[in-house]
Structure 1
């Protein structure tokens, strides 16, 4: 079997290639990145100045002329738009937002459903899929890909200005340890009370949707969850987070989840590996002291 992977974010392409590696031969189209050829694809095609119009035209022509069994598109803003364009142009049905893929007599995929409240497993003969970021942890391969550069037609779009979102620190998706806060923290001023735990663990700080979007205690790029970022740390420590399914959808890839919450019936305790019921402002200083020693 042979698959084409497209992602305008090379990191997502690395994850998809790693996930599919060994199951099928893979070509990938992405923006230039010096590490991408090290993840095991047969051929890596780099493009520049790509927009939905010229990329949509190129991909439709390229897929139409090449016999790929499957098309996997990273579910970014651009990826989702391109998937719609390609579905129309190629008359090809698309299964959206998958986080699991298995090919038997039919394709078996899994994706979150009803806003992340449940997981649906589906059988289909679809050939095109959008893939949720974080499908697995990217790992380099032994072989190196052949690299080719693409020439796209001139786009009708032109960038006249770029205004980056305000970010705070490094990308939490790359963190090995994350300390995450929820409404149970009480106030933005209380963040400084949990920073000694963040510091002693050399962790990144993140938050739930209310913390980042509603109360703005943390910047938007620190939000974890279905509508935020999906993370895969070695340790995820949830402080005062109730654990609604939309948040759990963002942390399922974590190797170890530790929860501290004074509500013993909080849903987070059904998902964590270790849970502590109690006042986080009492427990966190004790943890810090133990870790220092």
Structure 2
């Protein structure tokens, strides 16, 4: 099979290449400057050069796709990746399946799996789709035995103009490098609750992070501490989820954690499906008792 893969995220790209290279011959394209991407199994790797505006990237990728008759096309599920996948799907009149976590081919049909009903179950579908967006964490990246043939491609002109770049203010903690993370969700109930969580995290040499509602909706924590699909992807040795329901957007950000402890009042919370250890109960009582033991 001839497969095409695109992602602006080097991590997701390496995962997709590792997962797909046994399924066919891969041509890949990326906007990332990560030098190691060429070690993960693509026979050809296009490196897109330009300002990486969504419209120009989408048209450039569509142009690359039209050069060959690919059996399937895969896009990393990032903000840019989803937009490019939608453009290619519409532009070429192809059926798409989004946010897949597993795939196999049966003849000319694809059998995919993706989370459904807010992550509470897995939906298996059989279709003739040719375009797929791939969730982070589909596999652990492993280098291949050969290097890709690389080629630079200039992106098509964009209808947008880049006026100014304003870097986000850097936080004091890089949660992506943390070995122990204590993450809080809606179950925290109030911003003042952080005054009990932060000393607990310090006792176990961890850092405090949060779900999307805590960081973006309520702004109890800064945006750079958000774990999830639209936030940071973390791989700590220990991840303690306090009051987090476990929607798939959050799971996508912490699936790489080695050990997960979840505390939630709702015994049916999806987070327990991802947890190695689960506690059904009040998060504040949990923190108090463990702090006493420490």
1:194, 1:284 within 8 Å by CA — same for their partners in 2?
no
1:282 to 271, 275, 288: 288
Report the CA distance shift for 1:152/1:210 in structure 2 as closer, same or farther (over 3 A): closer
1:179, 1:206 within 8 Å by CA — same for their partners in 2?
yes
Report whether the alignment pairs 1:168 with 2:171. Answer: yes
1:53, 1:155 within 8 Å by CA — same for their partners in 2?
yes
Report whether the alignment pairs 1:159 with 2:162. Answer: yes
Matched residue, 2:45 = 44
Matched residue, 2:261 = 258
Which segment drifts farther, 203-212 or 222-231? 222-231
The alpha-carbon deviation at position 223 of structure 1 amounts to 2.7
Matched residue, 2:36 = 35
2:143 to 132, 140, 144: 140
Matched residue, 1:84 = 86
Matched residue, 2:76 = 74
TM-score by structure 2 length?
A: 0.82
Give me the whole-angstrom Cα distance separating, in 1, the residues matched to 2:46 and 2:173: 28
Report the CA distance shift for 1:282/1:203 in structure 2 as closer, same or farther (over 3 A): closer
Give me the whole-angstrom Cα distance separating, in 1, the residues matched to 2:8 and 2:210: 26
Matched residue, 2:182 = 179
Q: 1:237-282 CA distances to partner (integer Å, 9 max, x unpaired)?
A: 112x152545664445544221245x37463456522134461332
Q: 1:164-222 CA distances to partner (integer Å, 9 max, x unpaired)?
A: 44553566456543221134445434435433553455544321233222321212343
Matched residue, 1:104 = 106
Which sections of structure 1, spanning at least 5 residues, go unmatched?
A: none
Give me the whole-angstrom Cα distance separating, in 1, the residues matched to 2:260 and 2:196: 21
SS at match of 1:22: coil
| RMSD value, Cα | 3.0
Q: Aligned runs of 1:117-136 on 2, under 5 Å?
A: 117-136=120-139
Give me the whole-angstrom Cα distance separating, in 2, the residues matched to 1:150 and 1:121: 37
Matched residue, 1:15 = 15
The alpha-carbon deviation at position 121 of structure 1 amounts to 1.0
2:137, 2:255 within 8 Å by CA — same for their partners in 1?
no
2:115, 2:248 within 8 Å by CA — same for their partners in 1?
no
The alpha-carbon deviation at position 130 of structure 1 amounts to 1.2
Give me the whole-angstrom Cα distance separating, in 2, the residues matched to 1:202 and 1:6: 38
Report the CA distance shift for 1:248/1:148 in structure 2 as closer, same or farther (over 3 A): closer
Report whether the alignment pairs 1:191 with 2:194. Answer: yes
Which segment drifts farther, 156-165 or 247-256? 247-256
2:276 to 270, 273, 278: 273
Give me the whole-angstrom Cα distance separating, in 2, the residues matched to 1:158 and 1:264: 48
Give me the whole-angstrom Cα distance separating, in 2, the residues matched to 1:83 and 1:19: 19
TM-score by structure 1 length?
A: 0.82
Give me the whole-angstrom Cα distance separating, in 2, the residues matched to 1:199 and 1:72: 41
Report the CA distance shift for 1:176/1:24 in structure 2 as closer, same or farther (over 3 A): farther
1:166, 1:219 within 8 Å by CA — same for their partners in 2?
no
